[in-house]
Amino acid sequence: LRDISDPVEDTDIPFLWHIPKAAGSTVKAVLHRCFGLRRPQRRRYPEAAEVVDGFVNVDISSLPGIARAKDMRLVETGLVDAIVTSHLHEGSALFTDGRRGRLFTVMRHPVETAVSLFYYLGYATWERTYRADFANMTLAEYAAGPHLLDNWITRYLTHEETGELTEWHVELASEILSKKCVVGIVDELDETMKRLQSYFGWEVMESFPGCLHHYIHERAVNTHKHQKINSSSPEWHILEERNKFDIRVYEIALALFEEQAQSLIPRYPQPNT
């Protein structure tokens, strides 16, 4: 992956590290619908390095899919304008010296993400990760129980999906974000998309004026309405404690979001919207 301070090259490929329930589906829709970027997404069987319905017909949402894409030398086909996956390290291995990746992500408060994911997985029957048992479980039971994958951001940033986390993992996560990643924030999605547009030089397609506003404010993708929890509630405090490393990393990301507004984005021309 490129360092964010390196000049953007025409051969670089944007790489969205997709954090579950952090506006990733909306950002994917914006990349495709507003900017006309082709990304891998399986549209039919068998998978192949071919364009189908405006997508490259390869699934990279799973580790076996990423391995197949690597065997296909996917990024070298010239078909892909962007890479999107939750598997940061395996996804990074898709890039080559001639086609380098440019990392960006959009982050949300870890407790809000955990709550949203719990309600979503108990509802979304079409997802591979659907959990029918979550529909009959309370948030308090989930927060205190064994089903919670704690500190998802820190684990996937540092490639420590299981096992004990330490201060070292927070430091490594901070280093990766600060050196390699353009950071976006869900609560600042308008500004986030403006920055990404500026950084990557994307232009909204003339056929869909107002596209960004449409997807950010009118038709957010793959959202699921659920009850909110108060930040003073017992459930919030349990989730906050169990995700204490992610809370630290999120606070670092918020600081980077402010810092990049001064250190990074002003180097690039302002986009059209």
- Domains of the chain: which residue ranges? 13-37+81-267
Strand-pair partners of 56: 40, 51
Give the burial string for 105-122 (b: 16+ CB within 10 Å, else e). bbbbbbbbbbbbbbbbbb
Q: Are 117 and 129 in contact (CB under 8 A)?
A: no
Mean pLDDT score, 214-218: 92
Q: Are 91 and 15 in contact (CB under 8 A)?
A: yes
- Please state whether the peptide bond connecting residue 46 to the residue before it is cis, i.e. omega within 30 degrees of 0: yes
177: CB partners within 8 A, 6+ apart: 157, 183, 249, 252, 253, 256
Query: What pLDDT sits at residue 272?
Result: 63
Concatenated DSSP letters of 12-54:
-EEEEE--TTSSHHHHHHIIIIIT----B---SSSP-SSEETT
Rounded CA separation 48/51 (Å): 9
pLDDT digits (tens, 9 = 90+) for 132-168: 999 889 999 999 999 998 999 999 999 999 999 999 9
Q: What is the pTM of this model?
A: 0.93
SS3 126: coil
Q: Are 30 and 15 in contact (CB under 8 A)?
A: no
More confident residue, 206 or 106: 106
Give yes or no for residue 109 having a pLDDT over 70.
yes
Rounded CA separation 163/174 (Å): 19
- For the sheet containing 101-107, what is the strand order? 83-85, 13-17, 101-107, 181-185
Domain 13-37+81-267 is of which CATH architecture?
A: 3-Layer(aba) Sandwich (3.40)
Tokens 């894409």 -> residue: 69
